[in-house]
Amino acid sequence: MKGAEAQLREEVRAGLESLARLAALRADVTVRVGRPGSGWSISMRHGTISVDERDLLGRSPEFLSAIMLHECAHSTLTRLHRITPEQIHDNPVEFSLINAIEDGRIEAWLSDWLPGCAPWLASTQDTLVSELHRCHPDVLGKNPAADFCMGLLLMRHGLAAPVPLHPAACEALATSAPDIEAYFDSFPRFDLLEGHGAEIAAEYAASPLPSCFAASDGPIRPDTVEMSVRLSQYRAWRILHDKIRPVFLRLVSMDPDTRKALRFHQFMQRLVWDRSPEPSTGDERQAVRDFGEMQRRIEQRRKARGRAAGKDNATEGRPGSGEAYGQARSKHATVINRLSDALLNLQRTHGRLKCSAGYAHGHEPDLRAAMEFAATGRNHDRMWRRRHLPHRIAPALVLVADRSSSMKGERAKASFAAAVILHEVCRRAGLPLAVLGYNRRAMVLLDFEGDGAGLAAAQCLETILQPDGGTRIVPALDKADEVIQRSPHREHLVIVTADGEFNGEERADFDRLVARWHRTSVRATGLGLGPQTEGITEWFPGGRGGLDPSGLCDEVTRILSSFMSELYGLRAAA
């Protein structure tokens, strides 16, 4: 890279870092430049923001600044995931409304707090909408619910749609305009907080918000700024729930496909909460059939478009293009959805505030014991219940996939499918995942700190479909150990796939490394593909050898489910 270009890149990076610290109200935020194609990775928990080098050099500074401010403003103001009922927030159909209107609220706050960024935000939104319309010209103007969400953002910046929106969406936007503006204006004025701490604390204590955040706050009381942020989010949520959401649901009912998707996701959420194995009513069974039929129609239209463009999507995707990843994700969608929903249920169940009875002193009275004391005079020392904060569990997964030349064919496809399942499940459940490929040497395909949601991640994983070279296990585990050493997580699960016997000369180094892992919170297991891999259980006592390639995905999901269930102390998730 030339000196002038490197200097320009550093100037842009430093400017973005200053903006990030200002918008996030944190002085420890840092911005680093990632490799081209890595996408944007924003982790406000660790204070690190990774910017795709290709965007850094290919986009205007105003565009980059607007995106940076937008993401940081979410971390500063957005608390809907704590306030909104999970049945609404976790439903993809209703989340589209939540995401769109919350984007407008945080950008209204940015425009009020930093007036100079308003033109950047409007220009960036106009660019993104134009790019969406250019790539998908048939998206706008057909679905009233989707057009309503798009119209929210356009209304916020006074922009015109590339094509006319659905008439019902336009009418709903006009009718709900006062409520939408009230939602956009429900943000805290940090410059007016001084001297009002007592009033804010009293209003916060009288609201239902302390119970919403009890598990995360623990004994620590939030400061005045955080209380004002939560109160403004709660006021905005009341407007959304009472005034805007009913209008949106009416638009959803006007589109058959969107209505079917909403009913199906509501049914799936009931299964998670009730732990029911199957639909219990005729309406639920019909919802499953309708959703399946809708998905088949969408797939048929997608294939038809591919054939019209001279590219048949029914054939196997070309490795490195991202097509193979999409096909594998669609093929195993049932397993991915079932396992990710089960893991989310495990996390929700464990993360709730728990109470136990039978104490002489506590946080709240046990009504049954109190009534018994009033009637009999007994159990005076067992009248109170105590709250228990859940133990923080921070697991992470590492997949070490064999990429030697003997993996060609069905074994490589099975290994790739297992990687796709793990990647999608971990991304949806919020579990960190690292993926390594190895032959004579090892390479990191995905790291814990990387952004696993973009095309670059799919292209990296598709490297598994291009096996080549010999097999050495110790360099692969050394590389995995480096990744684990940099990981901030507590418990790690390492899954190693192989299709042949390991070199006996590596056994001593292998045993030393695995023994050190066993002394820490790292569990390692091996999965052998083919009849010649029965000896893998001598290297990994808890492993499985002689697996048929078609059974690898089931074995990987079983291992992940058992690992998570043991950590949380609950029944197996799958």
Q: Tell me if 327 is assigned to some domain.
A: no
Q: Tell me what the mean pLDDT of segment 255-266 comes to.
A: 62
Instruction: Confirm whether 448 is domain-assigned.
Output: yes
Mean pLDDT of 39-45: 63
CA distance 45 to 56: 23
Looking at 234, 254, 274, the residue that finishes a domain is 254
Q: Do both 408 and 531 map to the same domain?
A: yes
Counted domains in the chain = 4
Residue 252: CB atoms within 10 Å? 22
Banded model confidence at residue 311, pLDDT cuts 50, 70, 90: very low
pLDDT of residue 219: 75
Q: Which of 308-312, 398-402, 532-536, 557-561 has the lowest mean pLDDT?
A: 308-312
The chain-wide mean pLDDT, for the chain, equals: 79
pLDDT at residue 274 is higher than 50: no
Q: What is the 3-state secondary structure (H, E, C) of 422-442?
A: HHHHHHHHCCCEEEEEECCCE
Q: Residue 312's pLDDT is what?
A: 42
Domain end marker among 337, 366, 388: 388
Tokens matching residue 299: 């797939």
CA dihedral sign of residues 232, 233, 236, 241: negative
- Cβ(401)–Cβ(498) below 8 Å: no
Asked if residue 103 belongs to a domain, the reply is yes
Predicted pLDDT at 232:
94
Domain for residue 517, yes or no?
A: yes
- Looking at the fold, whether 497 and 525 belong to one and the same domain comes out as yes
pLDDT the model gives residue 260? 60
Whether residues 111 and 189 fall in one domain: yes
Q: Compute φ and ψ for 544, nearest 5 degrees.
A: -135, 130
Q: Is 134 contained in some domain? A: yes
Looking at the structure, tell me whether residues 411 and 477 fall in a common domain. yes
Q: Is residue 290 part of a domain?
A: no
Q: Which helix (H) or strand (E) holds 172?
A: helix 167-175
Residue 35: give the domain boundaries.
Answer: 3-77
Backbone phi and psi for residue 570, each to the nearest 5 degrees, phi listed first: -115, 180
On whether both 453 and 543 belong to a single domain, the answer is yes
Same-domain status, 407 and 541: yes
Residue type present at position 410: E
Q: Are residues 12 and 63 in the same domain?
A: yes
Q: Is the model more confident about 254 or about 187?
A: 187
Q: Write the pLDDT tens digit of every residue in 176-225.
A: 999 999 999 999 988 888 888 899 999 999 998 988 888 777 778 888 98
More confident residue, 59 or 173: 173
Domain closes at, from 59, 77, 95: 77
- Residues 447, 411 share a domain: yes
**Considering the domain boundaries, does residue 262 fall inside one?**
no
CB burial of residue 329 (10 Å; 0-12, 13-18, 19+): middle
CATH of the domain at 65: 3.30.2010.10
Identify the pLDDT of residue 316: 47
pLDDT of residue 184: 94
Statement to judge: residues 112 and 194 lie in one domain: yes
The pTM score is 0.51
Query: Do 32 and 134 fall within a single domain?
Result: no
User: Domain containing 521 — which CATH number?
Assistant: 3.40.50.410
What was the pLDDT predicted at 284? 55
Write down the pLDDT at residue 105: 94
Query: Are 103 and 21 members of one domain?
Result: no
* Alpha carbons 453 and 458: distance in angstroms, whole number: 8
pLDDT at 267: 47
The one-letter amino acid code at 253 reads S
Say yes or no: 477 and 527 in one domain: yes
